[in-house]
């Protein structure tokens, strides 16, 4: 499949940008991953709003509406147009001589492409997690491509044969290296409040709304490490992760959480999430 670089479709090997692109040199770039269920885009407005927020935070002027036709074309033009897919969108401040301050003028570079992704049957999958200290910067609310810390942390779990790394800072869980974390204890659901410590996940918002619709007790409060005893359920959310049940959590060589089957709250939310994303089709 072709990729779209600055509005032009071409073979990936033909897509070229300058070595002075600020995304390449400094990580001065933003990204989004937008899901397509059965070929139909889901939560596009929410993803564009988050991109607008990230743009405003890094003082980057760009009209996000300009990207919409390319986002839609990315799946329409693909060989899996009727299936589940996702669009990767990256936007860098562009090419300019390397400076630590933002250049007065630079032509942004944007890249859009789609990839097939198995969104179906997510409720039949499960993940095992490593718990590790959150070493990221203090603006995790900006969806930047500067994900070196996230990839270092995620790689730690992969080297142990686990699926994702759950992060804590000052004794409180923040989120996963590429996902949002939810905890269930005594029928109360906890997730970290929005702010610079976490990315405002689109799936997080959808799941919080579903909790309210289902009259579940959802609290946007961080979960503390000392409350891991008698923890009932853990699940992670994300655009491609959806609502993933967690069976095991490891910390410093021991297992600190184990639950082989999805708990009742996780199951309820998985079902509601599936209905929402599939427009109530079974």
Which amino acids are annotated catalytic? 143
- Rounded Cα distance between 71 and 34, Å, is 8
CB 36, min distance to ligand PMP, A:
14
CB 147, min distance to ligand PMP, A:
7
CB 220, min distance to ligand PMP, A:
14
Choose, by CB under 6 A, the member of 144, 203, 266, 277 that binds ligand PMP: 203
Per CB under 6 A, does 199 bind ligand PMP? yes
Q: Which residues contact 15 (CB under 8 A, 6 or more apart)?
A: 3, 5, 111
- In the bound state with ligand PMP, the residue whose beta carbon lies nearer, of 32 and 233, is 32
CB 129, min distance to ligand PMP, A:
14
Q: Which residues 86-145 are close enough to bind ligand PMP by CB under 6 A? A: none
Per CB under 6 A, does 208 bind ligand PMP? no
Which phi and psi (to 5°) does residue 117 adopt?
Answer: -145, 140
- Interface segment toward ligand PMP; rule CB under 6 A; list 75-83, 153-161, 172-180, 251-259: 172-180
CB 184 within 8 A of CB 232: yes
Choose, by CB under 6 A, the member of 239, 266, 270, 277 that binds ligand PMP: 239
Per CB under 6 A, does 238 bind ligand PMP? yes
- In the bound state with ligand PMP, the residue whose beta carbon lies nearer, of 78 and 150, is 150
Choose, by CB under 6 A, the member of 54, 92, 179, 266 that binds ligand PMP: 179
**What is the per-residue burial (b if ≥16 Cβ within 10 Å, else e) of 232-270?**
bbbbbbbbbbbbbbbbbbbbeeeeebebeebeebbbbbb
Q: What is the CA radius of gyration of the chain?
A: 19
Q: Which residues contact 124 (CB under 8 A, 6 or more apart)?
A: none
- Rounded Cα distance between 155 and 219, Å, is 30
Provide the binding-site residues for ligand PMP, judged by CB under 6 A: 150, 175, 178-180, 199, 201-204, 237-239
């Amino acid at each position: 499949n072709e990729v779209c670089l600055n509005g032009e479709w071409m073979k990936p090997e033909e897509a070229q940008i300058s070595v002075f692109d600020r995304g390449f040199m400094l990580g001065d770039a933003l990204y989004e991953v937008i899901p397509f269920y059965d070929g139909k885009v889901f939560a596009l407005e929410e993803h564009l709003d988050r991109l607008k927020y990230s743009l405003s935070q890094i003082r980057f002027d760009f009209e996000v509406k300009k990207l919409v036709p390319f986002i839609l074309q990315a799946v329409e033009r693909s060989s899996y147009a009727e299936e589940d897919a996702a669009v990767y969108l990256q936007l860098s401040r562009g090419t300019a001589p390397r400076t630590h301050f933002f250049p007065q003028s630079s032509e942004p570079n944007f890249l859009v492409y789609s990839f097939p992704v198995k969104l179906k049957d997510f409720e039949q999958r499960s993940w095992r997690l490593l718990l590790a200290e959150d070493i990221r910067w203090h603006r995790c609310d900006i969806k930047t491509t500067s994900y070196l810390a996230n990839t270092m942390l995620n790689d730690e779990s992969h080297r142990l044969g686990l699926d994702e790394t759950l992060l804590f800072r000052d004794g409180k869980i923040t989120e996963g290296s590429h996902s949002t974390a939810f905890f269930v204890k005594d029928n109360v659901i906890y997730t970290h409040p929005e702010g610079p410590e976490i990315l405002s996940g689109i799936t997080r918002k959808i799941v919080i709304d579903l909790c309210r619709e289902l009259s579940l007790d959802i609290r946007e409060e961080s979960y503390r490490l000392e409350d891991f005893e008698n923890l009932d359920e853990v699940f992670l959310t994300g655009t491609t992760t959806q609502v993933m049940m967690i069976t095991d959590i490891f910390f410093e060589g021991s297992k600190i959480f184990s639950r082989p089957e999805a708990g009742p709250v996780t199951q309820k939310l998985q079902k509601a999430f599936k209905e929402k994303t599939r427009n109530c089709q079974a």
